Amino acid sequence: MRKLKNSELDRLSVDEFKKTEKTPIIIVLDNIRSLNNIGSVFRTSDAFLVEKIYLCGITATPPHKDIHKTALGSTETVAWEYVENTIDLIQKLKSDNVIVASIEQAEQSVMLNDFKPKPQTTYALVFGNEVKGVTQNVVNASDLILEIPQFGTKHSLNISVSCGVVVWDVFSKMDSGKN
């Protein structure tokens, strides 16, 4: 087997990306402190045609060299917006009929492998701070809590890893529903 060259990857241009139909997934970053994690979330969002990223609270915004280092240009493709108060954003999204799902370990959480997205529904996936997770008031305001099953001793994943796992899972389940 031969590795493909970058020129063989059929990449979209920035203009093509912006015109392409997006996956009905919105990402909300609730007080993310690591600029590298923010950049990584942008890259994951680009890969799976995420509709938009909301950067909330202390979450830094582009342009910033440390975000750019891991985003690799995806801050130019993925739509994003800064909103200071996560709860205000959650209320607005819910009023727009978006289902808000916090990614957290909590009572009455739905294990990610058991989650079945509803057709023709947009989901906002909320990822929290590297130490404290999603704030309790945001968990309380969410429509559901999704939990990534974990079986080792740590029961903790880096936020950018969590985002990759959850977005891929939800994307693949939404995409399989199209067939």
- Using alpha carbons only, what angle is made at residue 92 by residues 63 and 71, rounded to the nearest 5 degrees? 25
What are the distances in angstroms from CA 43 to CA 49, 97, 147, 167, 179? 10, 26, 22, 12, 26
Q: How far apart are CA 131 and CA 24, in angstroms?
A: 28
Mean pLDDT by 10 residues, the chain (179 residues): 91 92 97 97 97 98 94 95 98 98 97 97 97 96 97 93 98 76
Burial class (CB in 10 A: 0-12, 13-18, 19+), 111: exposed
Query: Which pLDDT does position 176 carry in this prediction?
Result: 65
First vs last Cα of the chain: how many Å apart?
A: 30
Q: Note the residue count of the chain.
A: 179
Query: Which pLDDT does position 111 carry in this prediction?
Result: 98
pTM as predicted: 0.95
Query: Which pLDDT does position 178 carry in this prediction?
Result: 58
Burial class (CB in 10 A: 0-12, 13-18, 19+), 47: middle
Q: How far apart are CA 100 and CA 122, in angstroms?
A: 9
Contact (CB, 8 A) for 25 and 127: no
